[in-house]
Amino acid sequence: MASKSVIPRRRITFSAVQESSASTGKLPHSCQLKRRHRQSPKKRPAKPLSQLMEEDVIPSLKATLEAQDHITELELPFEDKRLEGSFLKKGTPYSFWAFFPDGVLTGPKGFSLSSYGSGVSTVEPFLIDEKKITEKHIVFWVEKRLAAQGIIPVWRG
């Protein structure tokens, strides 16, 4: 007699249902209004470079430099697409230039420095790694360049 062993087969069934966070049906009118109302407000248009310098950069940079010891006769005009800073530190004259040839923050930018009444230093790239440049970036990078030359301290007391 031949015998067959019967092994029951198990069937395993997988199913997946994708759930969506968005409803596929229509939202009531009041919900649609609320959803539209929640959208972020429109951004203010960017200030022109001269206005940004006069209203935001120069006052902040002036306060930063005036807080340093031994800095006198500070001048920070913005003319001809160039922020020019000059001051005396312990009687030694220093000047720097942050310039924006295209007149916008998104275009080319450069920085140069002069000390002891000598000629202008090498023109260096300025703010090249920043994606969205603000007035705080400009002040920070001018301060950083002056600190790198030992004109102002790296660390604040």
Q: Where are the beta strands (DSSP E) in 43-127?
A: 71-75, 78-79, 82-89, 92-99, 110-115, 124-125
Model confidence, pTM: 0.65
Beta-carbon count within 10 A of 87 CB: 21
CB 74 within 8 A of CB 64: no
Q: In a structure prediction context, what are the per-residue pLDDT tens digits for the chain, which is 157 residues long?
A: 565 656 666 666 555 555 555 555 565 555 555 555 566 666 666 788 899 999 999 999 999 999 988 899 999 999 999 999 999 998 899 999 988 889 888 888 888 988 877 766 766 766 666 667 788 888 888 898 888 888 888 776 5
The domain spans of the chain are: 49-148
CA–CA distance from 84 to each of 8, 89, 111 (Å)?
Answer: 89, 16, 10
Cα Rg for the chain, rounded, in angstroms? 31
Alpha helices in the chain (DSSP H): 29-37, 49-52, 58-66, 135-148
Q: In this structure, which amino acid lies at residue 89?
A: K
